[in-house]
A and B are shown apart, each in its own frame.
Chain A
Amino acid sequence: MSFLVPLFFAALVALGVPVLIHMIQRQRTEVIEFPSLMFVRKIPFHSLRRQRVRHWFLLLLRCAALALLVAAFARPFFQSAVLVAVTGGSREVVIMVDRSYSMGYGNRWDRALDAARDVVRDLDPDDQATLVFFDSGAQSGARSTRDRASLLAAIDRAERGADTTRYGPALELAQGIFEESDQPRLQAFLITDFQRIGVDSAASTLLPPGTVLTAVSVAEENETPNIVVAGASVQRDIFSGRERAVVTARLANRGNETVDNLQVALELSGQEFESLSVTVEANSSATLTFAPFTLEDTAMPVSVRAAADRLPDDDVFHFTVAPGDVVPVLVVGRAGATDANLYLLAALAPGSRPSFSVTVRSVDQVTTADVAAAGVVVLNDVGLPSGQIGAAIARLVESGGGLWVVLGEQVRWPEDDRGLLPGTFGEPADRDGRGGTLVVNDYSHPVFEVFSAPRSGDLTTPRFFRYRPLDVRPDTAVLARFDNGAVALAEHTVGEGRVLIWTSTIDSFWNDFALKPIYPPFVHKIVEHLAAYTPPTPYLTAGQFLDLGQYPGAAELDVLGGNLVVRDPSEDRVDVGGDGRAGFIELTDQGFYEIRDTDAADSASVMIAVNVDLAESNLERVDPQELVAAATGRAVGDRAATTERELRPEDLERRQTLWWYLLIGALGFLAGETVVSNRLSRTELDADE
């Protein structure tokens, strides 16, 4: 017999307590010094009476109770092999089934389920089993159950997912189950196609010693070619006043055989628009450009679908194409000074993501309609127009629009509308010699972020010969200064919109900035920033959680207050949001999610395309024994792997629970002691009376 916590035996010293109680009843630890005990020694009776044990049986009862109590706390257990064999033998089984989308290759998924059923049927009555389905995460049903019917039912209900393979979460879950288990034998079954991409996640997981990990591979030896639609790009142009899009699809052949005459179709809103034929060489890729099509007013679901092969999930690529990816810009200049806008218009012309729709008006021709149609207004060397035009521009900024004020020679600003400006500017100031340079204060600002990386544009090359000094207010953010400390670019927030003020010109009159290569991206970033432009997300990846409150494409939806209904690719409807909660959607399936606010009058909807992670389409396999060796920490064929694990003392003790019987024994002795001592006390009292 061994003990798990033998240190508790130190408490056996407590056995002396009843002895002391017998010897010196109520004796205190205080010692009284006395000159001589000559007379005390002559009185043996009362001083020595307590030193005699009068009730040996009572003493033995008390000692036995304490000894059993101490032994129970020491947690005894038998290490005898016979005893272990009698109490052991049953297994803790974890069945891990891969449900990633690569299991859809051929009939892998069906074979995996059959293999899982076989394992369940082979369980002994005393075995406990847990069914774990995993892809990039792992989920288990009832843990450590002996109910085989429920396990089989769980297998029947299982569905393949659209996520990628990661062995780590499943092995960690199994590790946790094994560590909590008190079964003498631990066995895990890993039923998967053993894709190499999932191995790295298992690097830090080690199953408990003695665990037998059985690899069940459902991958075929000879795989046929796998065609992957790797992506698609969209080129836009304007034709007859309508925006057109041209889709170019990229296809990859991850097989060793060339695929001839592969039919690839472009589907618009679920309808096939065009089908083309293409040949893709082995281990190669190809591109395919479809005919242009005209965009609709709302986001259009577009799919590029190749003829299905044995892994159909990666044969289709979904995305959305939304119109209106255009920023309307109103440039207001001085009358007759058309050259002042020359460089600005040239810089805004080549934009595609977004493109810029530029309207140029002189200050005396601009109308409120022009302002209302604009997202960003550029006041190029003119002050804020008076009257309704100025008020319209102010309203535009208040409601989220942008205003770029370019200070030139002629700018005069009305005193009443100083609130739009981040400060007050003075008369033009000249720089001598080679002129001044630009110094950026904050490269993390959206305007300058694109220039922050090395070799991403040198903003110090332009030379500035004249500018208008700007005295900014304390709450103004100065984004850039000239090398003499004067403000070059400052930002001011008004309502929901932004105002940027540039203290030099944007032509080549006061500086040579417009002649530098960084001028167009600088202008683009300023306008995009003022328009609060965020590029659309054409698709998301399966397995992600989508927070509608943070998703730019769902800005039109009332996430918190609306009654949102999601229709997933399998046409199921799920309520999200409402009752004040932000809507979270788990994108589990491949296809299009349509989100609609049923409370909204126009019932606007948002389409979200979801594609599988194409890394999963790489079917390269790992040797199952290599994974087994990594997870168990043993070489394959190691004898320890096939023998019953050596139970830890904790497990042995937990299984035998001898302490419980000792505790019961101790309580029995204490009860007996109570009865006996009461009876003895009564007897003595009677005798005294």
Chain B
Amino acid sequence: MATVSTVSPGARFIDPQVLARIGNLELVAKWVVEGFINGLHKAPYLGVSVDFAEHRAYMPGDDIRRVDWRLYARTDRYYVKQFEADTNTNFSVLFDVSKSMSFGSRGVTKIDYGRFLAACLCYISTKQRDRVGIVTFDDDIVERVPPSAKHFDVTMHTLDQMDPGRPGALGPPLYKATEFFKRRSMLVIISDFYDEPEKVLEAVKPLRFAGNDVIMFHVLDPAEVDFPYDDSSSFQDLETGRKIPVVPDKLREQYRELVQEHIQALTGLCSQNRIDYAFLNTKAPLDHALFKYLAMRHKMTKVR
């Protein structure tokens, strides 16, 4: 079902609940992405391809075919011409498949939402000739598909087969995943980041410091944000199994404040560490996530 947003005119906003009814991930990705791109034909984000980037001084060892002879003629110096899109990049999704990701109060679980998002991103990347791969993790690495131009189908399959069941932890698996990305890659981390912001950043930093472009998608269910419960009940932690009697009326406001503080803290810390961070509410259409992603990519190119 499409809804209309005043934020991004021309785009099709697709309700995740509708997407959830489509079993085929590739079809979902294709439908969303192509619809999305069609809606963006006037948008400024399409120029992320083979444009000229910069000149730099020739260094011994550079391919002389890259020397800008015209500039040499004018300046009598050797410069090498660099283009933005003249190289393909690795695109990998690091997907949190811990038990908490299986939560969903509106029919779409967080892992489903993340699954659609990852599928779309992979589809976009494949369209750009990027190599796509995926790493799923909970408290350890669960599945790993190395980035490759031929791994789109395997990645889709892995996304499709993800089954959250175990408690999660960010530090150990992400540290281990650092070893997988020897080459500079674009890494998208999809998780609910249930940990202290400092610890989250401690877990993500190694990836960033390895030279990767890291984008953190913080996926939360509306119930986790708004805490809409009324009756006093026993709340059970999906991952630890621990139960706590809760009077929602009494703590709702404080809970919301804590969640917002958590998001703000993550935003601040990520910004400090040049890590892109996006908070996603599963009730929001998937297009929002794609907008955020492409906005970041665009920002990245400008910064560079």
Contact = CB atoms under 8 A, between A and B. Distances in A.
Nearest to A23: B245
A27 B234 contact: yes
A26 B244 contact: no
A453 interface: no
Interface in B87-124: 99-101, 103, 110
A27 B262 CA distance: 29
Nearest to B241: A33
Interface residues of B, number: 34
A37 B99 CA distance: 13
Nearest to B103: A35
A149 B272 CA distance: 110
Given A23-B245, A40-B244, A41-B244, A35 B231 contact: no
B60 to A, nearest CB: 54
Interface string A22-34: 0111111111111
B102 to A, nearest CB: 8
A414 to B, nearest CB: 102
A37 B229 CA distance: 14
B194 interface: yes
Question: Top 6 closest A-B pairs, CB basis?
Answer: A46-B250, A35-B100, A36-B194, A35-B103, A39-B258, A37-B237
15 contacts: A25-B232, A26-B231, A27-B233, A28-B231, A28-B232, A30-B231, A31-B233, A31-B234, A33-B238, A37-B244, A40-B235, A40-B246, A43-B258, A47-B247, A50-B247
A86 interface: no
B234 A30 contact: yes
A79 interface: no
Contacts of B239: 35-36
Most chain B CB within 10 A, of A23, A35, A50, is at A35
A43 B232 contact: no
B254 to A, nearest CB: 5
B208 to A, nearest CB: 24
Contacts, number: 97
Interface in B234-273: 234-240, 242-247, 250-251, 254-255, 258-259, 262
A434 interface: no
A47 B244 contact: yes
B236 A31 contact: yes
Nearest to B221: A35
Given A43-B251, A43-B254, A32 B232 contact: no
Interface residues of A, number: 27
A25 B246 CA distance: 10
A40 B237 CA distance: 10
B245 A39 contact: no
Contact of B229 (A32, A38, A49, A51): A32
A33 B236 contact: yes
B218 to A, nearest CB: 13
Interface in A326-366: none
Interface string B198-242: 000000000000000000000001001000010111111111101
A38 B192 CA distance: 12
A38 B195 CA distance: 8
Contacts of A23: 245
A42 interface: yes
A39 B231 CA distance: 18
Nearest to A42: B258
Interface string A313-332: 00000000000000000000
B233 A39 contact: no
Given A24-B232, A35-B192, A40-B255, 15 more contacts: A26-B232, A28-B234, A31-B236, A32-B234, A35-B100, A35-B237, A36-B192, A37-B237, A40-B235, A41-B244, A42-B258, A45-B250, A46-B246, A49-B247, A50-B232
Contacts of A32: 229, 233-236
Contacts of A45: 250-251
Given A47-B245, A50-B245, A36 B238 contact: yes
B234 to A, nearest CB: 5
Most chain B CB within 10 A, of A36, A38, A40, is at A36
B262 A39 contact: yes
A542 B234 CA distance: 83
Contacts of A47: 244-247, 250-251
A412 B239 CA distance: 114
Contacts of B229: 32
A28 B258 CA distance: 26
Given A33-B238, A38-B194, A43-B258, A27 B244 contact: no
